[in-house]
Amino acid sequence: MSVIVVLRTSDGRSTWVGSDTLVCGGNLKQDYGPKWIVRSPWAVGVAGHLRTVNLIERNMEALTGNLKDAYEFALRARDVMKADGYQSDSEERGPAGFGGTLILTNATGAWVIGSDFSISTVSPGMAWAEGSGREIALGAIHALQSLQAGHAPDDILRRSIDAAMALDINCGGHPWIHEVA
């Protein structure tokens, strides 16, 4: 799995994103690179299958071109995944879930797209994380922000990703950080 992290500045002028760079398959691991696809003005983070990272990267223009909002992105992403053969992982009634979570962001907003394509907004000054290292990263972010020591957003993300890589067996590689401005 992985850890992807987003932090919106409290002034709402920029959004910081980051991830680990490790991918795992079976008992093997490989340093792959960032789990974020950045095409100005949008960035999309993927926590889940490597195939989803490949698919989002390949279809980024169609997914974000003339994009109105996060809801439209979720519909487009679901359609692209269905066309690629993704199937619902649930036999229960309700929305189809394709296993994995996306984070959509631009300079002035961030939205978590759940595996069922539900949408939640990340408020200014707040952070969120997804992936197997999520709880560890969120704990580190909370601790760093509560210190009120004036940590820069990139420092908070780097430290939170470092914590996830140190304690979650499925996170690794190195921290990758980017400002979406």
CA distance 127 to 119: 15
Residue 172: which pLDDT band, with cuts at 50, 70 and 90? very high
Comparing 77 with 87, the larger pLDDT belongs to 77
- pLDDT at residue 91, rounded to an integer: 61
Q: Could you tell me if 79 and 62 are in contact, meaning their C-beta atoms sit under 8 angstroms apart?
A: no
31-80 per-position pLDDT tens digit: 899 999 999 999 999 998 889 999 999 999 999 999 999 999 999 999 99
CA distance 90 to 79: 17
Residue 143: which pLDDT band, with cuts at 50, 70 and 90? very high
- Please, what is the Cα angle at 25 between 19 and 27, to 5 degrees? 115
Region 132-160: mean pLDDT is: 93
Number of domains in the chain: 1
Residue 95: which pLDDT band, with cuts at 50, 70 and 90? low
- pLDDT at residue 107, rounded to an integer: 93
Region 150-159: mean pLDDT is: 93
- pLDDT at residue 138, rounded to an integer: 97
Comparing 129 with 50, the larger pLDDT belongs to 129
- pLDDT at residue 142, rounded to an integer: 95
Specify the CATH number for the domain of residue 13.
3.60.20.10
Structure tokens at 6: 């987003």
Domain housing 30: 3-180
- pLDDT at residue 92, rounded to an integer: 59
Average pLDDT, the chain: 91
The number of residues in the chain equals 181
